[in-house]
Homo-oligomer: A and B are copies of this chain.
Amino acid sequence: MTYDVWMTVIETRAPLNRDRIIDAAVAYADDHGVEELSMRKLGAALGVEAMSLYNHVANKDDILDGMIDHVFRTIPLPDPEQDWRVSVRTTGLAAMEQFSAHPWVVHLLMQRGNFGNASLTFMNQVLGILRAAGFSDEEAHHAWQMLASHTMGYAFQQSSGSWHEKEWDGLEEQLSRLGDRFPHVVALAPLLAQCEFGTEYAFGLEIIISGLEARLG
């Protein structure tokens, strides 16, 4: 009997720890959306009661911070050896890719900001590349703000992308009803609906890189 219980325990749940909790939280958010994530549901996903999580984690915010950190850690850091334009481009695209894969990250970043290890490391690396490229501190700051805004903005639009997919069917009918009031929106609605955010982001990124380059002189 005791043995059975032991087996069950061993088989169905490895010992709980912070990493396992955060991994499960990331998976849950990927599957069901971050707003569906609750301590009870996360516990259930791990085969454990909600309160057990608190033995390994300070509180829910701690988990959310860990989730952000988890995603930032998977963004490959830019290579300082390369031309800054290449670094910025590849890093931007890599970041966008992760934000697309985990749309809830932008959501979380917005509510809480983040100064975890991974995000500071990331930021530090990018700033270093800009400074090494010859940008003054002020210019590097401008560049960072602009790149960050552009990236967050696209991730933002993508994650709130109600123009996409399912919603679009209902919207089309609604828009055709409002066609006389919003002719330009209706005209461009197909483009908005089919919008490939990766391509779109890259397009803007080139404009920004060119613009920064020009300011660099």
| Interface residues of A, Cβ cutoff 8 Å to B | 35, 106-107, 109-113, 115, 120-121, 123-125, 127-128, 131, 137-138, 140-142, 144-146, 148-154, 156-157, 159-162, 171, 174, 178, 181-185, 187-188, 191-192, 195, 200-201, 203-204, 207-208, 210-212, 215
| Interface contact B137-A188, CB-CB below 8 Å | yes
A182–B181 Cα distance when bound, in Å, is 52
Q: Can you spell out 13 A-B residue pairs with CB atoms less than 8 angstroms apart?
A: A107-B110, A107-B111, A109-B160, A124-B184, A127-B187, A128-B184, A140-B188, A142-B200, A145-B154, A150-B204, A151-B153, A152-B157, A204-B208
Question: Given the complex of chains A and B, what is the CA–CA distance between A174 and B145 in angstroms?
Answer: 22
Nearest CB of chain B from residue A30's CB, rounded to whole Å: 17
CB neighbours (8 Å) of A110 from chain B are 106-107, 110, 156, 159-160
**Chain B residues, CB < 8 A from A121:** 181-182
With known contacts A149-B153, A203-B146, A160–B124 Cβ distance under 8 A: no
- Chain B min CB distance to A145 (Å): 5
Once A107-B110, A162-B115 are accepted as A-B contacts, the answer to whether A120 and B153 lie under 8 Å apart by CB is no
